[in-house]
Amino acid sequence: MRKASDILYRFRGYILAVFAVALIACPAAPFPQNFSRMAETGPYFGTLLFYALGIALRIKSRQHIGQHTRGSAHSADALVTGGPYAHMRHPLYMSNTYIALGAIFFHLGVSGLFHVFIIAIALFEYALARAEDQFLEQKFGDTWRAWAQKTPMSSADINAILGDKKANSGASLPQRTVFQAFKADASTWFWFVFFNLIMVLLKIYTV
């Protein structure tokens, strides 16, 4: 089981790339013909909302956690419990989920395949979170268990996560500025823009 979770973590970027290719291989929902109809524009509001939440949560998380999360193997210099980690155990995975939901809304609208991709992404991110929990429990023992007992795997209380200053009292690595946190994910933002450009071009081609 441990080996399987290590493989999942090591190739998580490639797995997400497969999801991305599978998504854009699906027929793109056309741009709305009537922007005043909520049924047609609703998915685009959903896209903006999920993108905003995902990007904000990712930057906030990067302010409190080190660079080790970009490696190919589980690693942790310390158990981070400050910032968004005071409210949920896996804010980076949650940010991935929000951004993926935004992309699914944008490309597919609300269709049958929409639900398939949502379930697949949710299961994938949950599996990653469980694998990380196992690693952290093994490394930090009772310290992790005490934190995990009061901190859910994820949380919908975004206002508390992004705006609660009391959360800064938890343990964090040296905190980065917003710019430093954004810069630390430079490759992520590049692929985010590139992928969204492809989706826009596919929609234009569909029209």
pLDDT (mean) for 83-95: 92
Report whether 93 contacts 123 (CB < 8 A): no
pLDDT, tens digit (0-9, with 9 covering 90-100), for 114-156: 899 999 999 999 999 999 999 999 999 999 999 999 999 887 6
Report whether 136 contacts 76 (CB < 8 A): yes
Model pLDDT, residue 19: 95
User: Bigger pLDDT: 160 or 85?
Assistant: 85
Reference 62, options 165, 203, 192, 186; nearest CA is 186
What CA–CA distance (Å, rounded) separates 86 from 82? Answer: 5
Percent over 90 (pLDDT), the chain:
54
| Per-residue confidence band for 6, with pLDDT thresholds at 50, 70 and 90 | confident
Model pLDDT, residue 136: 93
Question: Locate tokens 């995990």: which residue?
Answer: 148
User: Bigger pLDDT: 32 or 116?
Assistant: 116
Model pLDDT, residue 68: 53
Looking at the predicted structure, is the pLDDT value of residue 184 above 70?
A: yes
Looking at the predicted structure, is the pLDDT value of residue 158 above 90?
A: no
Model pLDDT, residue 172: 59
The Cβ of residue 161 has, within 10 Å, a number of other Cβ atoms equal to: 24
pLDDT (mean) for 37-62: 86
What CA–CA distance (Å, rounded) separates 50 from 140? Answer: 33
What CA–CA distance (Å, rounded) separates 147 from 85? Answer: 10
Reference 87, options 159, 146, 144, 143; nearest CA is 159
What CA–CA distance (Å, rounded) separates 190 from 53? Answer: 18
Most confident of 153-157, 176-180, 196-200: 196-200
Residues in the chain: 207
| Per-residue confidence band for 200, with pLDDT thresholds at 50, 70 and 90 | very high
Tokens, residue 154: 């994820």
Report whether 94 contacts 154 (CB < 8 A): yes
What CA–CA distance (Å, rounded) separates 189 from 63? Answer: 16
Model pLDDT, residue 164: 58
Q: Exposure of 190 by Cβ count < 10 A (0-12 exposed, 13-18 middle, 19+ buried)?
A: exposed
Distance of CA 22 to the CA centre of its chain: 18
Model pLDDT, residue 117: 94
Model pLDDT, residue 42: 74
pLDDT (mean) for 38-66: 86
**Averaged pLDDT of the chain:** 85
